[in-house]
Amino acid sequence: MGSPEEKSCYDCLGRKVTVFVILLVVSLLVNVFLLCKLITSYHQTEYDDDWMIGKNISEVENRYGNFNYQAKVWGAYYLYTGDGFGIFSDNLQRWLYVYYDSDGIVTETEISVQCGG
């Protein structure tokens, strides 16, 4: 089997490996959390689209100002333009589209690129 000194050396090595694996897993989890946080907060908007659902468009415009564009059943607020950096970059404008019914009640919101070319 081996001397007691050899056994304690193997125990010590096993503990070091266990501690290393635990630290590695914790580090990975922290990095994944921070990356997710960065991705979700990169382009936070000043608009509360959940608040808009069920509100009249006049209430929305009173809170956020007139739409930048408005059609018969939707309005749009400009959000930002893509940064043009990296392999997944673009220079497309992002807009918050606010869709409403014939009574002017907001039914849906969507963040998307600008309509048209």
Among 28-32, 105-109, 113-117, the minimum mean pLDDT is found in 113-117
Q: What is the DSSP track for 36-99?
A: HHHHHHTT--S--HHHHTTSBHHHHHHHH-S-SEE-SSEEEEEEEE----STT----EEEEEEE
d(CA 7, CA 88): 53
Q: Find the Cα–Cα–Cα–Cα dihedral 53, 47, 93, 76, rounded to 10°.
A: 40
Map tokens 């959940």 to a residue: 50
What was the pLDDT predicted at 75?
92
What was the pLDDT predicted at 8?
64
The token pair at 49 is: 């689209």
- Over residues 39-49, the mean pLDDT reads 66
* 4 CA to centre of own chain: 55
- Over residues 4-23, the mean pLDDT reads 75
What is this structure's pTM? Answer: 0.59
pLDDT tier at 100 (50, 70, 90 boundaries)?
Answer: very high
Enumerate the domain spans of the chain. 1-42, 45-113
Give percent of the chain with pLDDT exceeding 70.
74
What was the pLDDT predicted at 4?
56
pLDDT of 61 strictly over 90: yes
Taking all residues of the chain, what is their mean pLDDT, rounded to a whole number? Answer: 81
pLDDT of 107 strictly over 60: yes
- Over residues 67-91, the mean pLDDT reads 79
Q: Are the C-beta atoms of residues 49 and 109 closer than 8 Å to each other? A: yes
